[in-house]
Chains A and B, each alone.
Chain A
Amino acid sequence: MPPAGSLPGVSGFQVHFADHDILTAGDRPDVLVAMNPAALKANLRDVPKGGTVIVDTDAFNDRTLQKAGYPASPLDDGSLADYHLHGVALTSMTVGALKGVEGVTPREAERSKNFFALGLMSWLYHRPTEGTVDFIAKKFAKRPEIVEANTRAFRAGWNYGETSEDFAVSYEVAPAPLASGTYRQITGNTAISYGLIAASRLAGLPLFLGAYPITPASAVLEELASRKDFGVITVQAEDEIAAVGAAVGASFGGALGVTVSAGPGIVLKAETIGLAVALELPLVIVDVQRAGPSTGMPTKPEQADLLMVLFGRNGESPVPVLAASSPSQCFDAAIEAARLALKYRTPVYLLSDAYLANGSEPWLVPDVADLPDISTSFAEPNGDPFEPYRRDRATLARPWAIPGTAGLEHRIGGLEKADVTGAISYDPDNHDLMVRLRAQKVAGIAADIPELEVDDPDGDAELLVIGWGSTYGPIMAGVRRARKQGIPVARAHLHHLNPLPRNTGDVLRRYERVLVPEMNLGQLAMLLRAEFLVDAVSYTKVRGRPLSARELEEAITTMVATA
């Protein structure tokens, strides 16, 4: 990691709270707390004019200013005149507040300034303090002196806000009206892990994960590796190819085979996923997308793997593709991916991204009894010669006959197989038939997934905004802002990318104009235009950051204005 105090070394954390359900981490903070000049420089552009800027004056000296590239102190030169600037001696006040706490080094005392700042923020926004105090006690339970130091710093910060006359106003944010029930915080990676464990239980099959460490997907491997009490088997494979290979092997043996990775790993798995298409075995592949190409920006989100997972295999190789839309929705998406994989005996892609993976949100914890039944059955001998490619008439899925079943011994592989018998076949008509059958099987899933829902409150919108994946929150927030301006706008969000919901074409054609915001250069827009001959217009940003509600509001208003 680059050194603290340098511009690349700036790290930060953004919190968003509101009197309504929150859809994003917020695009533009109302308050910025800058612990040094570099942090100020790196983040000031995000703060709207009129916003509040709090700086640690102890950290502003010639050396740190120079490191951040400031010729003169911005605290003195009037360059921050558009903001409510508060210079607070965070470090020295924290160190002062901690005098007499035994066992805390001067360096540790300084580090407690985060809690001083949090105390100040808690006062400024009338946030309850008990939760933070409890958190400190739990988090640092092993070092009581640090609990004492952080608690003192936190209270000192709160008291400073209360006592100092520097802060003339404070704010109260009312509670948001939310559905009743039990809530928890959850990140996308944890939700995917839990969704996979739940799917294994709901299917009555052991969960097998083959994975190779990769940012930002490793947390799923780590989470599942710690859940052996659920019978979960994890193999940390020698490479991405082996990871998916092991999962295919486990699926052949009757497990719910899963592999998880990010773009650079997914490309390596492509050949094996093609094999799974030919074998027609269940397999779930989770792609936690990150900015590419190549190594790209490993920790930053992007949605640019869509066309790769749809088409990035040799031959006609159809694979169902799902995309999660929020951190907690990852749970349902993982179960749905497993359901389709098991029912249709097919590899299924689940797309997440770095924003969902590490972002967290409150989740209304579901009752396990309300989760769907996704159980499936293995083939059983009936005395006739076994035909591994005789398909179910409704789903076109083939039987899943697992080793250990006497009488169903059979061989499968990547070579083209004769319809029904599964024997190797290079017959031209048979190949044509098999290619079409595999495509029909995946296309037929459209009948088994929900229709695309449209959010068009008054039914008078002429513009539809349609998205997929983690842009769900920003698009919803942007649409709300446009509606507040009185602009009628409809919104829809795709969770199934292949096949698309069966009414997608109807929905698109119902609107005069279609706007498709994406964190890529227009991949879904290309699909919609190709598939439905609609004049879908792309709005794209690939900055390695989520789209912002404000820019989407602008994109909507601009589009309406130019109608």
Chain B
Amino acid sequence: MSPGDGLVQLTAKDFKSDQEVRWCPGCGDYAILAGVQSFLPELGVPRENLVFVSGIGCAARFPYYMETYGMHSIHGRAPAIATGLSTSRPDLSVWIVTGDGDALSIGGNHLIHALRRNVNLTILLFNNRIYGLTKGQYSPTSELGKVTKSAPLGSVDQPFNPLSVAIGAEATFVARAIDTDKQGSAEILRAAAAHRGAAFVEILQNCNIYNDGAFDVVRDQKENRLYLRAGEEIRWGDKGVRMRPDGTLEIVDASVGGLLRHDPLRDDPGLAFALARLTFESAGAVPLGVFRSVTRPVYEDMVHEQVRTSIEEKGEGDLQALIRGADTWTIG
């Protein structure tokens, strides 16, 4: 539905539930919640057809604040539950809200399988590189050497790059946004929601209590944002990204020319992967935007196509014939 089709146009307020929002004051989650609530009217999906599924963690409280259908489930399992829901009800718009621990540690297996199956889900991963709900242990995205209550001498765990994981798991849509970047986030939400299949969005989110300033270098210092825009040169400020003859990427002065043009539709994931590996430490900027957006058959579509063709070929199942079977004998 779109404005002007005779139905009531919803506003952000219509998506606010009556529950008091209980994140810590100053948490990046507030901005994301407001961003999603103000974007949804534009999506045009009736509230009753929207379902937010979450696991456990600070981010997982999200569904309670949405005036839609929602399930706050168990740690890491949201992709599994959402897969069942979306597969049995492809008419719904199913969203997952998760965190770095929920999605990449305890739920890592479910995440990668939802992505490779290309289930029609929109997955928002709030990455704050810390366990906030349990008060500050290192997470699977915490940097090596990070000192936390559970790693007093520094973490010895190599962190995940969430986008690398997603691309490696055959995701068809991969993007990155920043919690406070209202305009950039809205564009990405729009593209993610429009994508048929599994859309994976990492949102860099500040935990001001247990990991304050984790993303200051790109959240506050906007000059370090590298926005990837389809069809445009990959550049920021006076710098740009070029490919070396051996296929690796290099950061060059934009004036030298020969910069890469961004193409999220490229079927081969290699370049998207290479871009996802650029960090402030390695490149001097953090890439944002849609890294990859390709078309592949959607899980639910294929599942229901098999049901449809089975009924077409065999006719609607006859229960009496089924239980009777082919080999019977009669007594009396």
Which residue numbers of A lie inside 8 Å of B, CB to CB? Answer: 178-186, 194, 197-198, 201, 206, 208, 210, 227-233, 235, 237-239, 241-243, 245-255, 257, 271-272, 275, 279, 331, 365-368, 403-415, 423-424
**Residue of A with least CB distance to B93:** A403
A246-B83, A403-B89, A404-B89 as given contacts; A415 in contact with B72, CB under 8 Å: yes
Contact A413 B71 (CB under 8 A): yes
CB-defined interface of B100-115 with A at 8 Å, one 1/0 digit per residue?
Answer: 0000000001100100
CB distance from A255 to the nearest CB of B (A): 4
**Residue of B with least CB distance to A363:** B323
| Residue among A181, A228, A253, A368 making CB contact with B88, cutoff 8 Å | A253
Contact partners of B91 in chain A: CB under 8 A? 404
Query: Is B330 engaged at the interface, CB distance under 8 Å to the other chain?
Result: yes
Contact B311 A408 (CB under 8 A): no
Contact A245 B311 (CB under 8 A): no
CB distance from B176 to the nearest CB of A (A): 25
CB-defined interface of B297-332 with A at 8 Å, one 1/0 digit per residue?
Answer: 000000100110011011111011011110111111
Contact partners of A331 in chain B: CB under 8 A? 323
5 residue pairs bridging A and B, Cβ less than 8 Å apart = A206-B88, A230-B319, A252-B81, A275-B74, A365-B325
Contact A184 B325 (CB under 8 A): yes
| Residue among B88, B109, B329, B332 making CB contact with A208, cutoff 8 Å | B88
Which residue numbers of B lie inside 8 Å of A, CB to CB? Answer: 17, 19, 46-51, 53, 63-64, 66-74, 77, 79-89, 91-92, 109-110, 113, 303, 306-307, 310-311, 313-317, 319-320, 322-325, 327-332
Contact B303 A411 (CB under 8 A): no
Q: Which of B83, B85, B87 has the most CB of A within 10 A?
A: B85
Contact B48 A405 (CB under 8 A): yes
User: CA separation between A129 and B327, bound complex, in Å?
Assistant: 17
Residue pairs across A and B with CB atoms within 8 Å: the count is 198
Contact A231 B88 (CB under 8 A): no
User: CA separation between A255 and B66, bound complex, in Å?
Assistant: 24
User: CA separation between A415 and B133, bound complex, in Å?
Assistant: 14
CB distance from B67 to the nearest CB of A (A): 6
Interface of A is mostly: mixed
CB distance from B138 to the nearest CB of A (A): 24
Contact partners of B320 in chain A: CB under 8 A? 367-368
**Residue of B with least CB distance to A234:** B303
Q: A242-B80, A407-B48 are in contact. List 8 more A-B contacts (CB 8 A).
A: A179-B332, A181-B332, A197-B319, A239-B109, A246-B80, A275-B73, A410-B69, A411-B19
Contact B331 A229 (CB under 8 A): no
**Residue of B with least CB distance to A257:** B84
Contact B307 A231 (CB under 8 A): yes
Contact B323 A253 (CB under 8 A): no
Contact partners of B89 in chain A: CB under 8 A? 250, 253-255, 403-404
CB distance from A134 to the nearest CB of B (A): 10
Q: Which of A186, A229, A247, A414 has the most CB of B within 10 A?
A: A229
Contact B84 A185 (CB under 8 A): no
Contact B85 A413 (CB under 8 A): no
CB distance from B288 to the nearest CB of A (A): 30
CB distance from B169 to the nearest CB of A (A): 11
Contact partners of B332 in chain A: CB under 8 A? 179-181
A253-B85, A331-B323, A366-B323 as given contacts; A229 in contact with B316, CB under 8 Å: yes
User: CA separation between A104 and B70, bound complex, in Å?
Assistant: 64
Contact A184 B64 (CB under 8 A): no
| Residue among B19, B48, B49, B307 making CB contact with A408, cutoff 8 Å | B48
**Residue of A with least CB distance to B56:** A414
User: CA separation between A287 and B295, bound complex, in Å?
Assistant: 39
User: CA separation between A182 and B319, bound complex, in Å?
Assistant: 15
Top-9 shortest CB links A-B: A180-B332, A413-B72, A249-B84, A246-B84, A245-B80, A230-B317, A249-B85, A242-B80, A228-B310
Contact B84 A241 (CB under 8 A): no
A228-B310, A405-B48 as given contacts; A198 in contact with B319, CB under 8 Å: yes
Contact B319 A246 (CB under 8 A): no
**Residue of B with least CB distance to A201:** B319
Contact A185 B319 (CB under 8 A): no
Contact A235 B84 (CB under 8 A): yes
A227-B317, A279-B71, A407-B48 as given contacts; A183 in contact with B329, CB under 8 Å: yes
Contact A245 B81 (CB under 8 A): yes
User: CA separation between A418 and B315, bound complex, in Å?
Assistant: 47
